[in-house]
Structure 1
Amino acid sequence: MDTRNILYFMAVYEHLHFTRAAEELGISQPTLSQQIRALENELGIPLFDRIGKKVIVTEAGKMFKHYGTKMLQAEMDIKTAATELKSGSQGEIRLAALPSDLDFRLVPLFVRFKTKYPDTRLQVISTIFAHEEVLSHKVDLGIGLQGSADDRLTRIPLGSEPYHLFVHADSKLARRKRITLEDLKDHPLVMYPKGYVGRDLVDATCRKLGFELSTAMETASAASLLQLVSAGIGATIQPAGLTRQNGKDYPDIVAIPLSGVEPVRHLELTYYADRFLTGAQRELIRWLTDFFSEMKTDGS
């Protein structure tokens, strides 16, 4: 079975549209259709149903997606292992991380890691969909919130962290030692948009208490949220250690612990359970687990 045809199948599976898939692949639509038909003929079963202009994945297509993904990963593992053995280099690492952790915590660790392993090519992407990026083999490792059980993934707990309220030092709330979520019902808040894991975690906690928080402004950037708090636009509810590494940049922001029922995030490091890990990838896993362990020790 030609690996190229598996890649063609994956593109159609993702877009459910032959023309858009062909454009992504850089080939003509008739060529793509011909290759998919050849793959279906080889398997002896249709992978897609063509109903008018709609493309629908068959049960066989869903099954092929599962095993095709494994075949592509196996080929990548073979090439990676062979390259590492041949060159003796430290290899390549693709890592997905939550935006706030990437912006405020992990960059100093990456600088130290790159200094010690200069031959390692490190690619880090900021995303709230770390698990999905790992499962689609777009990254090797992912740091995200604890997800539901999935036998395809190896999951390493990185610890738990409560959320705090971040307010401007001149706010009347800044004098409080602790505060409840209920106290914030009528206070202007700046938050991530709905659908972001941090926002959804806060909203879910509020729903348990029987109410919803309203926002004065929403933005997808943790740095922007802190700038808005610094400008006095509103307060924000974020992980307790958000500014710990960069507190000097926000001297006018006060972090207040939440009391009562509070949002808590549980972080984990994930990677595909049966994939080959290079020496560099295993080393970064060790660095990351040690890093978050030290943060727990420091009270972050």
Structure 2
Amino acid sequence: MEIRQLEYFLILCRELHFTKAAEKLNISQPTLSHQIKVLENELGIPLFDRLGKKIAITDAGKILYEQCTHIFRAIDNTTNQIIELKEVKAGKLVIGTLPGELTNLVSDYLLDYHLEYPDVQVCINSSDDVLKQFKDNKIDFAISYKQEYFDYEEEQLKIIPLFTEELRFVAHSNHPLAASNTIPFQDILELPLILFPTIHQCRKVIDSAAHKEKLHVKPKIETASIDAIFKLVEQNVGATIISKTLCNLHPSTAICERPICNPPLIREIVLLYRKDKFINFAAKAFIHLMVEGLENTELSISENSKWLIQTLLKSP
């Protein structure tokens, strides 16, 4: 039983005339008669009573007609749902991020995305183990930091660099070091500091740099709350080390930011996706919106990365 035969059968039921049905289907009358006969032989029962030039639907034909109506309605519904997905009118999008700044960075584009695609369900899955999210097939793509010693190729992951981000020294505007153009890392660690907990990605960069320089990190206050860190700095409780991205998201005349030197604290933000996973239209739309947003900021995306992103967005 083929869909084409069911389509012929459905039109014939509506026309109850072989010639008229054949004309509507744009096929010959003998072809239509043959296909209906093949269908009847397969089912082992007549679908029509031939009454001279007239035909009538048999009881078996009525059952098949009813089921055909459901079948073609389901096909139309499926097609419409797929079209909606393609046009990003529906569906679900799950984005993987690391906790902290990257979750905030991605979340900043949620409102614009929702306004453009209100029927897409969006979930930002924040986790320290992005790799596990990929392995469990829980995310469509991820925004993460590049791990220098991680084999992305072995894990079937494609990596596209987005931008390089600095960690900055942030303190009250009246802080003694505010007059300096750059602040040595060692000098910062001697100050009362308000930092993220050790599990936070930003803190890991700080601890790693300190370990290499054989320095110790002893914060005065640890908190995972970004708002709390900025409020404490504004009240001159202490200084902090935080990403330039977060500095841009929390402008304040009460605080100042300065580059860090000896060594500078730098990390690379990347887009990750699985080679063997279909990137759906909802995901592509979010990536496009996010990249456009990043290009309108001070963050610089390389020409090669732009080309890689465009290739991804154009892929079937």
Q: Give the TM-score category using the shorter length.
A: 0.5 to 0.7
Query: What is the rounded CA distance, in whole Å, between the counterparts of 2:289 and 2:134 in structure 1?
Result: 19
Unpaired stretches in structure 2, ≥5 consecutive residues: 1-77, 302-316
| Cα-to-partner distance string for 1:219-272 (whole Å, 9 max, x where unaligned) | 12222222221232211111123121331xx33111111123111111111122
Query: Is this contact kept in 1: 2:163–2:299, CA < 8 A?
Result: no
Query: Is this contact kept in 1: 2:95–2:123, CA < 8 A?
Result: yes
| C-alpha displacement of 1:130 | 3.1
Secondary structure, in 3 states, of the residue corresponding to 1:242?
helix
Change (3 A) 1:153 1:198: same
| Cα-to-partner distance string for 1:139-172 (whole Å, 9 max, x where unaligned) | 2221111131223212221111111101112221
Query: Is this contact kept in 1: 2:167–2:241, CA < 8 A?
Result: yes
Is residue 263 of structure 2 the alignment partner of residue 254 of structure 1? no
Partner of 1:245: 249
Query: What is the rounded CA distance, in whole Å, between the counterparts of 1:158 and 1:224 in structure 2?
Result: 28
Partner of 2:210: 206
Secondary structure, in 3 states, of the residue corresponding to 1:243?
helix
Is residue 186 of structure 2 the alignment partner of residue 182 of structure 1? yes
The 5 A counterparts of 1:1-300 are 84-85=81-82, 87-88=84-85, 89-98=89-98, 99-103=100-104, 105-147=105-147, 148-151=150-153, 152-247=156-251, 250-297=252-299
| C-alpha displacement of 1:108 | 3.7
Change (3 A) 1:166 1:129: farther
Query: What is the rounded CA distance, in whole Å, between the counterparts of 1:181 and 1:211 in structure 2?
Result: 9
Query: What is the rounded CA distance, in whole Å, between the counterparts of 2:285 and 2:84 in structure 1?
Result: 18
Query: What is the rounded CA distance, in whole Å, between the counterparts of 1:292 and 1:169 in structure 2?
Result: 28
| Cα-to-partner distance string for 1:122-152 (whole Å, 9 max, x where unaligned) | 1123334334323322222211111312232
Query: Is this contact kept in 2: 1:91–1:120, CA < 8 A?
Result: yes
Query: What is the rounded CA distance, in whole Å, between the counterparts of 2:159 and 2:81 in structure 1?
Result: 25
Secondary structure, in 3 states, of the residue corresponding to 1:207?
helix
Query: What is the rounded CA distance, in whole Å, between the counterparts of 2:268 and 2:79 in structure 1?
Result: 36
Query: Is this contact kept in 1: 2:167–2:243, CA < 8 A?
Result: yes
Provide the TM-score with structure 2 as the length reference. 0.62
Residue 274 of structure 2 aligns to which amino acid in structure 1? Y
| C-alpha displacement of 1:83 | 8.6
Identical counterparts, % of pairs: 21
Of the two, which has the highest radius of gyration?
Answer: 2
Residue 165 of structure 1 aligns to which amino acid in structure 2? F
Query: Is this contact kept in 2: 1:129–1:144, CA < 8 A?
Result: no
Partner of 1:13: none
Secondary structure, in 3 states, of the residue corresponding to 1:241?
helix
Change (3 A) 1:290 1:123: same
- The size of the alignment, in residue pairs, is 216
Query: Is this contact kept in 2: 1:159–1:293, CA < 8 A?
Result: no
**Please, what is the CA RMSD of the aligned residues?**
2.4
Query: Is this contact kept in 1: 2:96–2:143, CA < 8 A?
Result: yes
Residue 202 of structure 1 aligns to which amino acid in structure 2? I
Query: What is the rounded CA distance, in whole Å, between the counterparts of 1:90 and 1:175 in structure 2?
Result: 53
Query: What is the rounded CA distance, in whole Å, between the counterparts of 1:298 and 1:274 in structure 2?
Result: 29
Provide the TM-score with structure 1 as the length reference. 0.65
Secondary structure, in 3 states, of the residue corresponding to 1:295?
coil
Query: What is the rounded CA distance, in whole Å, between the counterparts of 2:198 and 2:137 in structure 1?
Result: 26
Query: What is the rounded CA distance, in whole Å, between the counterparts of 2:194 and 2:276 in structure 1?
Result: 41
Query: What is the rounded CA distance, in whole Å, between the counterparts of 1:109 and 1:274 in structure 2?
Result: 26
| Cα-to-partner distance string for 1:98-143 (whole Å, 9 max, x where unaligned) | 422333x444422112111122111123334334323322222211
Partner of 1:11: none
Change (3 A) 1:272 1:82: farther
Unpaired stretches in structure 1, ≥5 consecutive residues: 1-80
